Amino acid sequence: MLRIPKRPANWLRTPTAQILAAGLVMVGGAWLIALWMVGIVLMLAGLGLGADALLRDNSASSSRKPLPTHEDVLERYRRAR
């Protein structure tokens, strides 16, 4: 019997994993079109990653509290009732 986990692994939620997955999907789709398209997609993905690295504000994220999880929100709701 197939067992489906209740929650996906935490590493799937990280921006790094999501960017890598998006890049792999883009390159795979471009490879299906043509080899020269793979080069164009890799250049655009590189530009996007560079822009993301330059524009990301890491200083503010370290001082903030982490966002509440789904369980935290439900517990707060139960206590409020």
Structural domain span for residue 30: 20-52
Condensed to tens digits (0 to 9), the pLDDT of residues 34-76 reads 988 888 988 888 888 788 778 877 665 556 677 888 999 899 9
Please say whether the beta carbons of 26 and 45 come within 8 A: yes
pLDDT at position 11 is: 62
3-class DSSP string for the chain: CCCCCCCCCHHHHCHHHHHHHHHHHHHHHHHHHCHHHHHHHHHHHHHHHHHHHHHCCHHHHHHCCCCCCHHHHHHHHHHHC
Residue 47 forms part of a structural domain: yes
Residue 78 forms part of a structural domain: no
> pTM here?
0.48
How many domains does one find in the chain? 1
Identify the residue whose tokens are 């001082």. Answer: 63
pLDDT at position 75 is: 92
Condensed to tens digits (0 to 9), the pLDDT of residues 8-36 reads 666 667 777 888 888 888 888 888 999 88
